[in-house]
Amino acid sequence: MNQALTALKTHIDWKMERNDVWKGKSIDGSSHEIIFTKEKKFNIYVKRNNRKIISQCKFVDNEKNAWKYFYQYISQSTFR
CA distance 47 to 27: 13
CA distance 6 to 56: 22
pLDDT-based confidence at 63, cuts 50/70/90?
A: low
- pLDDT score recorded for residue 37: 55
Average pLDDT over residues 12-39: 62
> Starting at the edge strand that comes first in sequence, how are the strands of the sheet with 51-59 ordered?
13-18, 21-25, 31-36, 41-48, 51-59
Return the C-alpha torsion angle 75, 38, 30, 53, nearest 10.
110
3-state secondary structure of 64: helix
Please state the pTM of the whole predicted model.
Answer: 0.36
Average pLDDT over residues 37-66: 58
| Range in 1-5, 22-26, 28-32, 61-65 with the lowest mean pLDDT | 1-5
